[in-house]
Amino acid sequence: MAQITEITVPDLGGASDVPVIEILVSVGDEVKAEDPLVTLESDKAVLEVPSPEAGIIRELKVALGDKLSQGSPIVSLEVADAGVSAKAPPTETAAPKAAAPEQAAPKPAAPESPAPVSAPAPTPAPASSTATVPATAGSTGLPSLSSTSGAFHASPSVRRYAQELGVDLSRVTGSGRKGRISREDVAGFVKDALAAPASSGGTGLPVMPEIDFSRFGETETRALTRINKLTGSNLSRAWLTVPHVTQHDEADISELEDFRKAHKAEAEKRGLKLTLLAFAMKAVVMALKAHPEFNSSLDSSGENLIIKHYYNLGIAVDTPNGLVVPVIRDVDQKSLYDLAAELAEVSGRAREKKLAPKDFEGGCFTISSLGGIGGTAFTPIVNAPEVAILGLSRARMQPVYEDGKFVPRLILPFSVSYDHRVIDGAAGARFSTLLGKLLGDIRGLLL
Ligand code: CAO
């Protein structure tokens, strides 16, 4: 027997009255669990609300422009296991308030809470970050952004996507009805621009050939999660537009480790796990204060540096759905215990897919810690529009030559990648050296 469920807006991370900018389904559509239903656009981010269950859309309860808050109804859904044909026609009572502009491509793994379309991933893209595109577009040969509001047909999320990639939509040919431009059209345009020979304004990068791998053995196709795709797009942009240098260094953290162990019991009493990361955050803030150009972003003209006088650190968190980078604010004003508590809380929410758009905003510098896993060095990608990132590898006991003999010391390898347009090599080496000293002498952190 058919079972109709009303799908409502989940927690929007405190936001309310958020306008509907796209309706991605029509009455009669079959949706899978996690397929997006509507797109909402707040001041800070564009969010897609996914269907929590598979089924058939029986009624649309929203129209474009409606303002939604937590609990607002979106659709009536006939749940999939109710034994109804997937292609069943809409019921006669179904009365859509608005026609769906276009069917969204199926999204393989969306969070239960609405996923920020423009916010998460290692290059969290707050609204202001799109402003860096024109300044960098020339260096890649990508078409520059001149207009995303012209007289062509494209949904707001496609316009935003184009804006993020620096694509002039007037140059994109739409493949949809009446020339409507889809996300895939924009992606195809960028792909073509990248593949174009250098003489025609592209980067001259050769196109990756399409290969049928099943010719060589058994294969399976696994869809990327939405977070994987966002991360991939942000990383590609940062990799193509930021001239990276990575400085590898090491710190003797033997004393830091003694201190950490001495406070382990006290931390546990408070229900906390005091890891190296909290100390690294404190050391980074001190190094940022000493080298303000590391705490900056290029402005949209590419001619000025915006130096930040606040210290918000992005922390790369590994989750089952992919990498996300929530931001911990005002690290300079927090104690080691405060930071340990916030790290546990934020990384827990990240793994439970409960981060809100505001959790990704306002980062100044990012730390990516792979120390709990392993490795001796790596080259982290700058989380643009930030200009530098710290990668922590695994600390190991090593023999260090001191006063004529080898002594066992705990050595932490770390890597600092930076944007060479903003930071000179000498400054990069000075920053890394200071960071090593701060981690090596715990007293420096306590001052
Ligand atoms: N060297 C040696 N041991 C380390 C270490 C280091 N550099 N850093 C952490 N450890 C230890 C911790 O002390 C802890 O040991 P105990 O359980 O014995 O106390 C253990 O490793 C696990 O630590 P953790 O990962 O739970 O905690 P954390 O504070 O170090 O890190 C977080 C938290 C959220 C950053 C981490 O869990 C994570 O997700 N890391 C992956 C980040 C990532 O994917 N980066 C790549 C981005 S680019 O693709």
430 vs 130, higher pLDDT = 430
427 vs 194, higher pLDDT = 427
CA distances to 214, 291, 335, 377, 444 from 434, in Å: 51, 10, 21, 18, 10
Contact between 50 and 114 under an 8 Å Cβ cutoff? The reply is yes
Residue of 244, 248, 263, 420 marked active site? 420
Looking at the chain, the whole-number percentage of residues with pLDDT higher than 70 is: 79
Name which residue sits closest to atom 34 of ligand 1, judged by CA.
317
What gap in Å lies between CA 265 and CA 339, rounded to an integer?
A: 17
Distance 369 CA to ligand 1 centre (A): 6
pLDDT of 21 = 83
Distance 372 CA to ligand 1 centre (A): 4
Say if ligand 1 is within 6 A of residue 256 CB: no
424 vs 50, higher pLDDT = 424
Distance 417 CA to ligand 1 centre (A): 19
Say if ligand 1 is within 6 A of residue 366 CB: no
Distance 346 CA to ligand 1 centre (A): 14
Name which residue sits closest to atom 22 of ligand 1, judged by CA.
372
In CATH, what class is 244-446?
A: alpha beta
Give the model's confidence band at 33: pLDDT under 50 very low, under 70 low, under 90 confident, else very high.
confident
Q: Helix 156-165 and helix 133-140: axis angle, to 10°?
A: 60
Looking at the CA of residue 373, tell me the nearest atom of ligand 1: 21
Question: Taking the domains of the chain in order of start, what are their residue ranges?
Answer: 3-79, 99-211+220-241, 244-446
The top-scoring range by mean pLDDT among 50-64, 130-144, 227-241, 275-289 is 275-289
Say if ligand 1 is within 6 A of residue 323 CB: yes
pLDDT of 263 = 94
Sequence-distant (6+) residues with CB within 8 A of 240 are 140, 142, 203
Residue among 244, 246, 276 to mutate when testing ligand 1 (max atoms within 8 A of CB): 276
CA distances to 45, 67, 104, 160, 351 from 124, in Å: 11, 25, 23, 15, 17
pLDDT tens, residue by residue, 278-322: 999 999 999 999 999 999 999 988 899 999 999 999 999 999 989
Contact between 250 and 436 under an 8 Å Cβ cutoff? The reply is yes
289 vs 179, higher pLDDT = 289
Say if ligand 1 is within 6 A of residue 20 CB: no
Say if ligand 1 is within 6 A of residue 367 CB: no
CATH topology of domain 3-79: OB fold (Dihydrolipoamide Acetyltransferase, E2P) (2.40.50)
Say if ligand 1 is within 6 A of residue 112 CB: no
Annotation marks residue 153 as catalytic:
no
Residues 95-103 have a mean pLDDT of 32
Distance 323 CA to ligand 1 centre (A): 14
pTM: 0.65
Give the model's confidence band at 120: pLDDT under 50 very low, under 70 low, under 90 confident, else very high.
very low
127 vs 400, higher pLDDT = 400
Distance 390 CA to ligand 1 centre (A): 14
| pLDDT tops 60 at residue 124 | no
Looking at the CA of residue 323, tell me the nearest atom of ligand 1: 44
| pLDDT tops 70 at residue 148 | no
pLDDT of 183 = 86
Residues 153-176 have a mean pLDDT of 80
At residue 186, what are phi and psi to the nearest 5 degrees? -65, -45
